[in-house]
Structure 1
Amino acid sequence: MPLGVIINSFSIFLGGIAGGLLGHLLPERFKTEIQLIFGLCAMAMGIPAVNGTVHLPAVILAVILGTSIGMAVHLEHRINRAAEWMQRPISNLFPKEQLALSHNEFVHRLVTIIVLFCASGTGIYGSLDAGMTGDHTVLIAKSVLDFFTAAIFACNLGYVVSMIAVPQFFIFLSLFLLAGIIFPLTTPEMVADFKSCGGILIIATSFRMIQVKQFPTADMIPAMVLVMPISWFWMTIILPLL
Structure 2
Amino acid sequence: MAVPGLGTLINAAAIVGGAGLGTMAGHRLPDRVRDTVTDVLGLITLVIGGLDVASLVDPSLTRAVGSRAPLLIMLGALVLGSAVGAAVHLQRRLELLGDWMQRRLSRDEEAGSFSEGFVTASLVVAVGPLAILGALSDGLGRGIDQLVIKSVMDGVICIAFGASLGWGVAAAALSVIAVQGSFTAVGATLGTFLPDAEIATISAVGGVLLLGVGLRILNVRPVPVANMLPALIAGPLLTWIVAITR
User: Normalising to structure 2: TM-score of the pair?
Assistant: 0.85
Select 2:74's aligned residue among 59, 62, 68. 59
Letter in 2 for 1:73: V
Worse-superposed segment, 143-152 or 122-131: 122-131
* Residue in 1 that maps onto 2:43: 40
Letter in 2 for 1:173: G
After superposition, where does 1:1-242 map in structure 2 within 5 Å?
1=3, 2-53=5-56, 54=61, 55-92=70-107, 95=108, 104=112, 107-181=115-189, 184-237=192-245, 240=246
Letter in 2 for 1:17: G
Count the aligned residue pairs.
231
What displacement does 1:160 show? 2.8
What displacement does 1:4 show? 1.8
Could you tell me whether the CA contact under 8 Å between 1:22 and 1:155 is conserved in 2? yes
Deviations 1:64-87 (A, max 9, x none): 101110000000010010011121
What displacement does 1:225 show? 1.4
* CA–CA separation in structure 1 for the residues paired with 2:177 and 2:224: 23
- Structure 1 unpaired stretches of 5+: none
| Structure 1 ranges of 4+ moved more than 6 A | none
Letter in 1 for 2:77: A
Q: CA RMSD in A?
A: 2.0
What displacement does 1:162 show? 1.5
Could you tell me whether the CA contact under 8 Å between 1:19 and 1:155 is conserved in 2? yes
- Structure 2 unpaired stretches of 5+: 62-69
* CA–CA separation in structure 2 for the residues paired with 1:57 and 1:137: 34
What displacement does 1:116 show? 1.6
Worse-superposed segment, 65-74 or 46-55: 46-55
